[in-house]
Amino acid sequence: MKTLIVNSDGSLEVKEIPIPRYNSKQALVKMVSCGICGTDSKLIHRGFKGFPKEAYPIMLGHEGVGRVVEIGSEVKGLKVGDHVLLPFNDPDKELYGTLGSGWGAYSEYGVVNDPDAFEEGEAPEVAYAQQIVPEDIDPVDAAMIITLREVLSNILYFGIREKDSVVVYGSGPVALTFIKFMSLLGIQQIIAVARSEEKIKNVLEHGATHTVNSRELNVVEEIRKLIPEGVNYVLDAVGSADIVNEAMELISDRGEILCYGVPEKSQMLLDFSKAPYNWKLNFQQMPSKLEESKAYDQILSWIRSGKIDLKDYISDYYSFDHILEAFRDFADHKILKKGIIRYCSGAEVKPIGGIGAKE
C-alpha cells in the first residue's frame, strides 16, 4: 500500500509499504477519507510532544474513516462493509523496520479494534472511539466527526456551563466548532477573537455573541468593557504563548485558561503579573478516546436534526494522489476550513483474501 511519510528533516514522501497485519480482535479497513489537522503540521515540524527527532520517519494521519474489508476470527461488532472511524497503523518492526507511526491514517489501509471482542476492561481505549459510521452519514465527510467528537467531549471535560463567559482565540475549524457547540449547549456569552472581517463573519455565523478584531482593536480593553470583572474561561484553540499571556489579563478570579491548540514548542515563558491571584492553566492536548466515544450520539443527533452540517466545516477535498499538493496548500493557509483527503470509493473495495492477517 501507499502511505504518507514524514522524514526527520520534515519532508513529506509517499512511500510503498506492506499492508498492515491485524489480530483476531481487529479488522482491516480500506481507507475512505482522512482529515488534515493542525497536529499533522506539528508532527511535520517536530513540535509535538512525544515525537523526538529519532522517532522519525513516521507515518502521518489520524482523522480517518475506513471501510472494513476483512475481520479477525473473534470480531463480533464489525462486519465487512462497515465504515469505521479512526483506523490507525501502529509500528511493526517486522513489516516496517524502523518506520514509526504518527498514527498512520494517510495510508491506503488501516486497522481498527472491535471492543466487543475483548473481555470487560481489556480493550484498548482507542477501541471505543473506533465507532461505526451510520449509513445515512457520508463516509467521506464523516472524517470531520472525529474533530467534532473531540471538541464536544472537551467542552464537557472543561465543565463550561450556560451562565459562564468564554473568550475563544482562533477562527479555524476547531475554534469554529467550539463556538458552534457552546452555542448549541446554551452558553450565553461567547466572545470570539479573530484577525479579519471575513473571519469575524464566520465566527458570528457559528454562534459567537460578541467579536473582537485583534488587528484593529485592543483585545483586553474591548473584553474588559464587556465584562469588567473578567471572564470565566479563555480558550486558546491556536497554541500560542502570546495568547496564554494575554489571556491572563482577561480572566476573573479563579478563571481558567484552556489550552487546546498544540504549541509549537514544549516550553512557554509566562508572565502572570497581570493575572488574578487565583487562576488555572488547563492543557488538553490528547483528548480521552473514551470521552470522545460518549460524545458520538450527541453529534449524530445534531447532524440528523440539521443543527450541524458536516459540509459547513469542510472547504477542500483532495484525492490521495494529490496529498502532497494538499499539504502545500495547508502550509500556505489556502485551506480555509477542513481539508479532506479522499481515497477510492468504498463501493470499489473488494476483500483481499487474508493478506496481512495475524491470528
Which pLDDT band holds residue 284 (cuts at 50, 70, 90)? confident
CATH number at residue 190: 3.40.50.720
Which pLDDT band holds residue 218 (cuts at 50, 70, 90)? very high
Q: Which residue has the higher pLDDT, 269 or 298?
A: 298
Instruction: Kindly tell me if the per-residue pLDDT of 349 is higher than 50.
Output: no
Same domain, 95 and 171: no
How confident is the model over 314-332, as pLDDT tens digits? 999 999 999 999 999 999 9
Q: Which stretches does DSSP call E strand in 214-329?
A: 231-236, 251-259, 279-283, 314-319
Which pLDDT band holds residue 264 (cuts at 50, 70, 90)? low
Same domain, 122 and 158: no
Which pLDDT band holds residue 42 (cuts at 50, 70, 90)? confident
Whether cis (ω within 30° of 0) applies to the bond prior to 52 is no
In this predicted structure, what is the pLDDT of residue 262?
65
CATH number at residue 92: 3.90.180.10
In this predicted structure, what is the pLDDT of residue 352?
40
Residue where a domain stops, chosen among 244, 268, 283: 283
- Written as nine digits, the cell of 150 is 473531540
Instruction: Kindly tell me if the per-residue pLDDT of 104 is higher than 80.
Output: yes
Same domain, 198 and 279: yes
Instruction: Kindly tell me if the per-residue pLDDT of 266 is higher than 80.
Output: no
Residue 9: phi, psi to the nearest 5? -90, 5
Same domain, 79 and 167: no
Same domain, 274 and 166: yes
114-126: burial string, b at 16+ Cβ within 10 Å, e else: bbebeeeeebeeb
Same domain, 236 and 181: yes
Same domain, 166 and 268: yes
What is the arrangement of strands in the sheet containing 231-236, beginning at the earlier edge strand? 210-213, 189-194, 165-169, 231-236, 251-259, 279-283
In this predicted structure, what is the pLDDT of residue 348?
41
Instruction: Kindly tell me if the per-residue pLDDT of 2 is higher than 90.
Output: yes
Q: Which residue has the higher pLDDT, 108 or 261?
A: 108
State the average pLDDT over residues 218-245: 93
Residue 324 lies in a domain: yes
In this predicted structure, what is the pLDDT of residue 174?
84
Domain that holds residue 189: 151-283
Residue 104 lies in a domain: yes
In this predicted structure, what is the pLDDT of residue 345?
52
Same domain, 262 and 167: yes
Residue 228 lies in a domain: yes
In this predicted structure, what is the pLDDT of residue 285?
73
Residue 219 lies in a domain: yes
Same domain, 315 and 230: no
Instruction: Tell me how many domains the chain contains.
Output: 2
Residue where a domain stops, chosen among 265, 283, 301: 283
State the average pLDDT over residues 98-117: 96
Mean pLDDT of the chain: 91
Q: How far is it, in rounded angstroms, from Cα 125 to Cα 194?
A: 35
Same domain, 8 and 116: yes
Same domain, 102 and 30: yes
Classify the C-alpha dihedral 70-74-78-84 as positive or negative: negative
Which pLDDT band holds residue 84 (cuts at 50, 70, 90)? very high
In this predicted structure, what is the pLDDT of residue 347?
40
Residue 303 lies in a domain: no
Which pLDDT band holds residue 53 (cuts at 50, 70, 90)? confident
Residue 298 lies in a domain: no
State the average pLDDT over residues 79-88: 97
Q: What is the pTM of this model?
A: 0.87
Give, as one character, the DSSP assignment of residue 334.
Answer: -
Instruction: Kindly tell me if the per-residue pLDDT of 173 is higher than 90.
Output: no
Residue 247 lies in a domain: yes
Q: Which residue has the higher pLDDT, 133 or 40?
A: 133
CB 303 within 8 A of CB 279: no
In this predicted structure, what is the pLDDT of residue 276?
92
Residue where a domain stops, chosen among 247, 268, 283: 283
Same domain, 97 and 156: no
Residue 41 lies in a domain: yes
